[in-house]
Amino acid sequence: MKRKLSIAASLAASIVAGLGALLLPTILAANEVEVVEVAIQSLGSDKYRINVTLLHEDAGWDHFADRWDVLDESGEVLGSRVLAHPHDNEQPFTRSLTLKIPPTVKNVTIRANDSVHGIGESTMTKAVPRN
């Protein structure tokens, strides 16, 4: 009887360990900032207003979404929108940035940063609307 219990306990421990290994990346990424929507509006003369909606479980000044970046196709940062304070009670939230985008850039990628995890894995790529 003891032998059967130890085999069952060993099997259960192996299953729990396996599930933990599978779920750990998801758990670690759970509090990263997520880019949920991007809208780009042409203002003429290669100027654009970019509206970005982020979702993050802000937890006061210790852990909040603090920036998003606009990158060209080669990964160069064209501009950044600094988020100066937590948005604990405003989720998701949208902020804008106006910047010049060179005419050679066809697509931009938005990535976001939080004060604990740094740059998150969530990105969104959009075509730059040309007149």
In the structure, what pLDDT confidence band is assigned to residue 57 with cuts at 50, 70 and 90?
Answer: confident
On whether both 95 and 40 belong to a single domain, the answer is: yes
The pair of structure tokens assigned to 68 is 């998003």
On whether both 56 and 16 belong to a single domain, the answer is: no
On whether both 40 and 99 belong to a single domain, the answer is: yes
Sign of CA dihedral 71, 121, 94, 84: negative
pTM (2 d.p.): 0.76
Q: How far apart are CA 81 and CA 15, in angstroms?
A: 44
On whether both 9 and 71 belong to a single domain, the answer is: no
Residue 2 identity (one-letter amino acid): K
Residue 69 identity (one-letter amino acid): D
On whether both 18 and 48 belong to a single domain, the answer is: no
| Domain count within the chain | 2
pLDDT for residue 5 is more than 60: no
Domain span at residue 49 reads 33-127
**CATH code for the domain in which residue 89 is found:** 2.60.40.730
On whether both 94 and 122 belong to a single domain, the answer is: yes
Count of beta carbons in the 10 Å neighbourhood of residue 34 = 19
Per-residue pLDDT tens for 73-123? 999 999 999 999 888 777 899 999 999 999 999 999 999 999 999 999 999
Q: How far apart are CA 48 and CA 38, in angstroms?
A: 12
DSSP 59: B
